[in-house]
Structure 1
Amino acid sequence: MSSPLNIHLEHYDGPLDLLLDLIRRQQINIYDIPIAQITQQYLDYVQKAVALDIELSADFVYMAATLIHIKSKMLLPRDPELDKIDPQEDPRKELVDRLLEYERFRSAAAMLQEKRMIEEAIWSNPQIQNFVNEDEGPGLAVTLFDLVKTFEQVLERAKHRPLYEVNKEEVSVPDMILFLKNSLRALPSGKTMALVPLFEQQRSRRAMICLFLAVLEMVKQQAIKLTQSESFGEIHVKRDTGFDEMQVTEESILRIEEEYKS
């Protein structure tokens, strides 16, 4: 018999992280999730965590209830005649949308983290501060946590504002890169622009997400730099060394759209 000390349980940042790992590990089509199978595997993980006295957040319990609810809805028989009158949406659709959105953010976060690690590995002259004017500090480096936290706050506020009807919205990440370039080009050289008002100008959640991904892409290409004047302060954006060189060509549009496919 194996010792309980040999039991290893994977750590996940949240329930969506766990679900994505279950789906990817078994090469399941995310648009056609076998909900009964995934629900059982999810509950097995939760039960093992409880047995090992590992504390899980309330999000894990809520997701377990959501999966059971979806499973029960899919097991209920549906009258074909009623479907003709009122077609029922796939009960899994909302969960699939959440998983896809979470995966996009996770990929973008990984890209930004990789860039940060590369920058930290580059040697810099510690005496450079002797040549910086006290009134011209470079500003604090903005972490991924700061950026994502700001974006979450913008999305939360957007839930309570009036809704706009936008038909067949075709906004994309390349569109938002052009929007950012034009906004910054209008500023005097060296000046910064607050990031939150740029998000709040957008008329839909999709546009906000595309703008968020555009910010990550431009940071990656060193076209823009994110700064804060103080810890936990408002994030500002300004031109970086690669701003003028970054061109939104047909080739780059295809690459960006493939990388941030939604």
Structure 2
Amino acid sequence: MNNWIDRALLDAVAALARKAGDAIMQVYARDFEVSLKQDDSPLTEADQAAHRIIAAGLAGLIPQLPILSEEDIESFEGADDQGRYWLVDPLDGTKEFIKRNGDFSVNIALIEQGEPVLGVVYAPVNEVLWMAARGLGAMRIDADGEKRLQVREHQPGQPWHLLRSRSHPSPDMQAWIDRLEQHDEVQLESVGSSLKFCRIAEGTADIYPRLGPTSLWDTAAAHAVLTEAGGAVIRFDGSALSYGDTSELLNPWFIAHGRGEIDWSGF
């Protein structure tokens, strides 16, 4: 049952994301050092500061649930007996943060039985927040206030507005785009971090295929937002992208898309 997931919980998680974003921006405003993790991905003090804020805040929420954070994988011992856990990327888009192009976000998701049932994505440079929870819908909050989100439905004959990663080009991805362009016109746009999901949830883009590595924490929060806005995130076999197996931290290839029955089996 998800009756314990309410607007108060969603607002509490959103407040944590904003607080982490403030810490990130303090580092963003000055010089900072960059180190490399064992997998050669970059790490900054902003990642670590945001992680500490989020982990402490989530630990104070009721019920207390296990936390899987990109910056503290070792402490995670698995979901609780109801399959629930917090899935966190304290700074999604560290490469974009280092490049200072603004395309990075704070991602916090609640997973239940493999599904993202609550998600908050906060872009601290523009102070824009996207959030959603099962049964509550998806919202964008910015200086103009709160707006409910709904994906758009791609119309036959119209170009596909396709989003791709800004920092992770892929030959497989380009080959997939080439096949799509044999059928329809495609408008390409490069966007960093999980903001691509949010753009589709807002109805300003149609599709984001990912034919390359991503981790569970990269996608879960924005996945929740897109789902509540009427979209979906599917694997290439047509099944829903799941977060139930935390023994494997990498996602399979997937497609995030807006409304409508879409058969991508030919691609």
TM-score class, shorter: under 0.3
* TM-score normalised according to structure 1 size: 0.26
- TM-score by structure 2 length? 0.26
Q: Which has the higher helix share?
A: 1
Larger of the two Rg values belongs to structure? 1
